[in-house]
Amino acid sequence: MAFCGFYVAKADTELYNSASQVVMVRDDDRTVITMSNDFKGDVRDFAMVVPVPTFIERGQINVAEQSLVDHLDAYTAPRLVEYFDDDPCDTRLYATVEAASADTMVRREMTMQKLDEDLGVTIEATYTVGEYDILILSAEESSGLIDWLKINDYKLPDGAEKVVGSYLKQGMRFFVAKVNLDNHEASGFSDLRPLQIAFESPKFMLPIRLGTLNADGQQELFVYALTRTGRVETSNYRTVKMPSNIEIPGFVKNQFSDFYKDMFTLQTEKENGKAVFLEYAWDMAWCDPCAADPLTAKQLQSLGAFWLDSESNVQGKRQPMAQNVFVTRLHVRYDQEHFPDDLKFIETGDRTNYQGRYVMRHAWKGEANCPAANDYFKMVKARDTQAGNVLANLTGWSRENIAASMGVKSLPSDKWWKRIWK
């Protein structure tokens, strides 16, 4: 496993009292839909009305095991991971930074903090704004900043160092943006298995309007789209990435459900209740980190990925791992007012990996008697303050309660203008 750290929690659909799940497998005009409903009560009262774009024969209807959807839910769920700082006085840990693995994720997670320090680069803030991942950087030297940007896969034109240097001399910071091109067991509802239908139609859509007519308030919907081409998004509503790769305070480990639900609610409000949120986009053959193992080719075929029947058979031998399936997880909270139209989808062709990932970093607790320790603990204090402020901004939680949970007297504001008129 190429992931350095510990996976500790996931934000699956069990966080929500009522959540509908739909798996949509799409290839050209061929679609297979698996509908896992949230029906409660006497099964004799169950009814489902789903518009479909064409005549459906008996052979096009099937029932599936809920465990397939549960597995896909767990695999794609946003996850919480934690790291533990190394001894700041053990300089041997950083002696071979330049010889680190070529795997960018490994190198980044193992050496990012020390590497940033060595290069004179400070990450002052991280945000997700619409379809962009944003970093606010400051640096001491242009060469260090250029090296940091290259290590973190930002592409720069030749001659950038001189221009960057002129801005640094003016004390400027850098706004850095990347386009992020990238759950019948224990359900508690009923023992009904998901229904599946397969059909051909040029329309790649999911009808939701009927479900809003007699709905009691807002509804949660999770769409897991499986394609050969890459990420799926909605074409008639804004698709927005959930904030990701965010550092949050350690106490959130015991409150991850509340954290994610409150963050999702706040992000929904910021989009005026009219957005569909991307929570995961990844090649099904692997994961990093894994909240659950990738689905096998047999499981994916059961969900409708019919092309694996031929692709997984090479020289008469079945391949053990799923191939050529890209999964997208979309989450929408909807009602009739904010979502008057059915969901329409497009295949973007983008296979860039993305996941909702939230990080806790624990400070070194052992002895640290060296000159570097003072700077390290100052960095930890600043890091914890920033994590507390990020938590407040993401969830709307009160800064006083966050400070109390972190065991500090107060949480200094990260907004300069709040210090002007107290």
- C-alpha to C-alpha distance for 377 and 267, rounded to whole angstroms: 33
- C-alpha to C-alpha distance for 333 and 18, rounded to whole angstroms: 11
Helix (H, G, I), strand (E, B) or coil at 140: coil
- What phi-psi label fits residue 12: left (phi over 0), alpha (psi between -120 and 50 degrees) or beta? beta
pLDDT at 422: 60
The length of the chain is 422
pLDDT at 219: 87
pLDDT at 221: 93
Q: pLDDT band for position 145 (50/70/90)? A: confident
Compare 28 and 40 and report the one with higher pLDDT: 28
Q: pLDDT band for position 2 (50/70/90)? A: very low
Compare 196 and 37 and report the one with higher pLDDT: 196
* Range from 36-40, 175-179, 224-228, 378-382 carrying the lowest mean pLDDT: 175-179
Evaluate the CA torsion angle 164, 170, 173, 174 in order and state its sign: negative
pTM value is 0.73
pLDDT at 143: 73
Compare 276 and 17 and report the one with higher pLDDT: 276
* Range from 196-200, 266-270, 314-318 carrying the lowest mean pLDDT: 314-318
* Range from 69-73, 320-324, 339-343, 368-372 carrying the lowest mean pLDDT: 320-324
DSSP 65: -
pLDDT at 102: 37
pLDDT at 186: 43
List the one residue out of 156, 187, 158 whose CA is nearest residue 174. 156
**Residue range 283-313, pLDDT digits in tens:** 988 777 677 888 999 999 999 999 987 655 5
Give the helix/strand (H/E) hosting 23.
Answer: strand 19-27
**Rg of the Cα atoms in the chain:** 24
* Average pLDDT rounded to a whole number, residues 152-165: 62
pLDDT at 367: 85
Question: Is 403 in contact with 388 (CB distance < 8 Å)?
Answer: yes
Residue 35 has pLDDT above 80, yes or no: yes
Share of the chain above pLDDT 90, in %: 35
**Residue range 87-113, pLDDT digits in tens:** 888 754 444 333 333 343 444 444 444
Question: Is 249 in contact with 388 (CB distance < 8 Å)?
Answer: yes
Q: Which residues partner with 345 through β-bridges? A: 234
**Residue range 234-250, pLDDT digits in tens:** 999 999 999 998 899 99
Question: Is 377 in contact with 87 (CB distance < 8 Å)?
Answer: no
pLDDT at 7: 55
- C-alpha to C-alpha distance for 379 and 328, rounded to whole angstroms: 37
Residue 271 has pLDDT above 90, yes or no: yes
Q: pLDDT band for position 398 (50/70/90)? A: very high
**Residue range 160-218, pLDDT digits in tens:** 676 567 656 766 566 565 554 443 344 444 457 888 889 899 989 988 876 666 566 78
Residue ranges per domain, the chain? 6-79+186-355
**Residue range 332-360, pLDDT digits in tens:** 999 888 998 889 999 999 999 999 999 99
Residue with tokens 């907004």: 415
